[in-house]
């Protein structure tokens, strides 16, 4: 069930909310169980064949976490015993992820390397497996490092399956969610949160249904054409890459806004996942602003355990590279994702090296406006170039696009030179104008997290304001759902593939 469908907004959501707050008047635990069951239904409605896999994974991780937390700290060998359980739990999760997400990839890659034909059955990717696996690995690591204890299976099940974040994040920490599930206020109807949540949901819906889906035909025309062997023109290559740059951002940040807004309806706050990433002035800044919960996960559970920056510059660069390559692989079972991650690892290495070399004049550089503009442009171009590998299904397709992007003498606006757009019935001038407007919005516009916070503050002031906000947002939600449903096909979110 997609957040952008009428079935979700007009049937599932009101029913689940009504049940949650009604049951919550009598029993906190029963309301949490209701939300857990509703979240499992949400997943099962989509992929019934993998519901048992999800529940099995939850059960194993819950028991493992309990074992880790159950080893008494005062025991002389607690670390060894807890670590054993931790390794077993992490291995279980990685095997599950490896099989369902990467088995075909590894076999295909091995076959290509050996030049032999090796075949296994095509395995259907369970939606959200990357997210619920990482969420649970983080839980096990926290149970080991911070002696977390969670003995309520419904709370744990809800923490993992909570439908706003289940299929595409944000990646959650146990410590962020559990206190909220244990608070009485969570189970009480709070109209201020409902009004603000609806408004944030509406903002995310607008980003997805209008902006991301509106610009996606330009990206699809160019990338699908290049994948089919066609050579785009220079103008098409740039337009396709820019279009995808904005499509991905508005698609994923739209999803995150929707998840945050939906969660506010249930009085649960999810962490922000984006912070205007295209305003970044360097690549480290970009990774602090893009998919923030994944970046934090990779930092806390991979980069730092690998040694972080604690063992000299060389190790630091190596750790960065390993973290980014694995981060790339997390996104998808394809070498183009690995390369995308590696490219960002190189970017980060260069950025850190530059910072080290210019340490003496860094204050001066940071104060310079010219330096800021050049830094922004360089960062933005580097990100766009990397997105080409992220979107293109093959290296050949990516190379075709990048080659033409670098062909500065090849700009022709004749129809015959821009076949991919012509055949898709798309107007190049309109495409560039849309990209220019979106660039202005992402670089100069206000941050949706800030908008959300202000809306919430506004809604908390009085009934009139919150009713006004709710009426306004709910009407727009209805309109956007009607718009989305009237199209030939309802498009899924890009990050559902990961």
Partner 1 sequence: MSPLAGLAGLAGGVAAALLALEIAFRILPVGTSTNTGYYIDPLLLTYPAGQRFTSATGWDLQNARRNHANNYGYVADHDFVENPRAIALIGDSYVEGSMLERQDRFAAQIEAQLRDRPVYSFGSPGTALLDYAERIRFASERFAISDFVLLLERGDVAQSLCGSGNVAARCLDPMTLEPRIEKQPEPGRVKQLVRQSALAQYVFSQLKLDPVRWLRSLLQREHTPTPTAALPGQKRAEHFAARVIDEFFTRTAPHRRGKLILVLVGEDTDGTQRQLREAAERHGALVIQGEPLLHAASAQTGLSTQVSPRDAHLNRLAFATLAERVAALLARAD
Residues that bind partner 1 (CB under 8 A): 6-7, 10-11, 214, 415-416, 419, 422-427, 462-476, 479, 482-483, 485-490
CB of 422 to partner 1, least distance (A): 5
The nearer residue to partner 1, 8 or 330, going by C-beta atoms, is 8
Nearer to partner 1, 142 or 257 (CB): 257
Q: Which of 155, 331, 344, 352 is catalytic?
A: 331
Among residues 11 and 436, whose Cβ is nearest to partner 1?
11
Structure tokens at 147: 């002696």
Please count the residues of the chain: 498
CA distance 254 to 277: 14
In angstroms, give the least distance from the CB of 462 to partner 1: 6
Q: Give least dist CB 413 to partner 1, A.
A: 15
Helix 335-357 × helix 369-391 angle, to 10° = 160
CA dihedral (490, 491, 493, 498) positive or negative: positive
Which one, 72 or 416, has the nearer CB to partner 1? 416
Rg, C-alpha atoms of the chain: 24
Tell me, yes or no, if 291 is annotated catalytic: no
Residue 478: CA count within 13 A, CB half-sphere: 6
Task: Concatenate the DSSP letters of all residues of 319-330 into one string.
Answer: HHHHHHHHHHHH
CB of 198 to partner 1, least distance (A): 10
d(CA 490, CA 417): 32
Q: Tell me how far apart the alpha carbons of residues 446 and 342 are, in angstroms, rounded to a whole number.
A: 31
- State the nearest-atom distance from the C-beta of 324 to partner 1, in Å: 36
Integer Cα distance of 124 and 53 in angstroms: 13
Nearer to partner 1, 86 or 127 (CB): 127
What is d(CA 382, CA 498) in angstroms, rounded to the nearest whole number? Answer: 22
For the chain, give the longest Cα–Cα distance: 77
Residue with tokens 């077993």, as numbered in its chain: 88
Task: Please say which residue, 324 or 477, places its beta carbon nearer to partner 1.
Answer: 477
Q: Which two tokens stand for residue 94?
A: 């990685």
Minimum CB distance to partner 1, residue 24 (Å): 22
Pick between residue 238 and residue 470 the one whose CB is nearest to partner 1: 470
Residues 6+ apart with CB under 8 A from 422: 415
- Find the angle CA(408)-CA(410)-CA(411) to the nearest 5 degrees: 90
Question: What does DSSP assign to residue 331?
Answer: H
Q: Least Å distance between CB 185 and partner 1?
A: 20
Report the residue number, 1 or 329, with the smaller CB distance to partner 1: 1
Residue 402, helix vs strand vs coil: helix
Cα(470)–Cα(371) distance, integer angstroms:
44
SS (HEC) of 25-88: CCCHHHHHHHHHHHHHHHHHHHCHHHHHHHHHHHHHHHHHHHHHHHCCCCCCCHHHHHHHHHHH
* Residue (of 176, 103, 171) closest to 137 by Cα position: 171
Give the whole-angstrom CA distance, residue 444 versus residue 140. 40
To partner 1, the closest distance from the beta carbon of 480 in angstroms equals 10
72/425 with CB nearer partner 1:
425
Q: Could you list the active site residues?
A: 331
């Amino acid at each position: 069930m997609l957040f952008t469908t009428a079935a979700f907004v007009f049937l599932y959501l009101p029913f689940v909310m009504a049940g949650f707050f009604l049951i919550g008047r009598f029993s906190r635990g029963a309301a949490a169980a209701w939300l857990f069951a509703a979240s499992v239904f949400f997943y099962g409605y989509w992929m019934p064949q993998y519901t048992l896999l999800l529940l099995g994974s939850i059960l194993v991780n819950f028991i493992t976490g309990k074992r880790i937390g159950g080893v008494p700290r005062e025991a002389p060998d607690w670390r060894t015993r807890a670590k054993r359980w931790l390794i077993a739990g992490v291995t279980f999760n990685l095997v599950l992820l490896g099989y369902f997400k990467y088995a075909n990839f590894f076999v295909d890659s091995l076959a290509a390397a050996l030049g032999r034909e090796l075949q296994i059955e095509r395995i259907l990717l369970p939606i959200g497996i990357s997210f619920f696996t990482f969420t649970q690995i983080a839980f096990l690591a926290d149970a080991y490092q911070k002696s977390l204890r969670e003995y309520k299976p419904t709370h744990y099940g809800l923490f993992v399956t909570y439908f706003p974040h289940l299929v595409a994040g944000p990646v959650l920490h146990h410590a962020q969610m559990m206190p909220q599930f244990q608070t009485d206020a969570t189970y009480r109807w709070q109209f201020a949160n409902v009004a603000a949540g609806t408004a944030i949901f509406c903002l995310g819906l607008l980003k997805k249904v209008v902006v991301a889906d509106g610009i996606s035909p330009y990206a699809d025309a160019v990338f699908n054409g290049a994948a089919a062997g066609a050579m785009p023109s220079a103008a098409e290559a740039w337009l396709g890459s820019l279009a995808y740059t904005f499509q991905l951002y508005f698609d994923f940040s739209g999803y995150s806004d929707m998840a945050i807004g939906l969660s506010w309806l249930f009085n649960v706050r999810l962490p922000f996942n984006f912070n205007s990433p295209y305003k970044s002035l360097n690549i480290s800044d970009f990774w602090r602003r893009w998919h923030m919960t994944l970046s934090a996960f990779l930092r806390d559970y991979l980069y730092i355990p690998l040694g972080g920056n604690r063992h000299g510059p060389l190790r630091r660069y190596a750790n960065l590279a390993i973290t980014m390559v694995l981060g790339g692989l997390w996104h998808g079972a394809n070498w183009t994702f690995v390369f995308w991650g590696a490219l960002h690892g190189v970017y980060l290495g260069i950025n850190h090296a530059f910072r080290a070399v210019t340490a003496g004049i860094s204050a001066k550089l940071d104060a310079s406006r010219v330096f800021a503009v050049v830094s922004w442009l360089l960062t933005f171009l580097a990100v766009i170039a990397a997105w080409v590998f992220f979107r293109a299904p093959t290296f050949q397709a990516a190379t075709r696009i990048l080659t033409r992007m670098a062909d500065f003498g090849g700009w022709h606006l004749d129809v015959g030179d821009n076949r991919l757009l012509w055949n898709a019935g798309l107007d190049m001038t309109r495409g560039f104008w849309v990209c220019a407007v979106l660039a202005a919005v992402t670089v100069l516009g206000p941050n949706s997290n800030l908008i959300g916070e202000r809306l919430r503050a506004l809604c908390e002031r009085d009934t009139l304001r919150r009713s006004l906000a709710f009426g306004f947002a709910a009407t727009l939600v209805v309109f956007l759902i009607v718009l989305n449903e009237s199209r030939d096909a309802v498009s899924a979110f890009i990050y559902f593939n990961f």
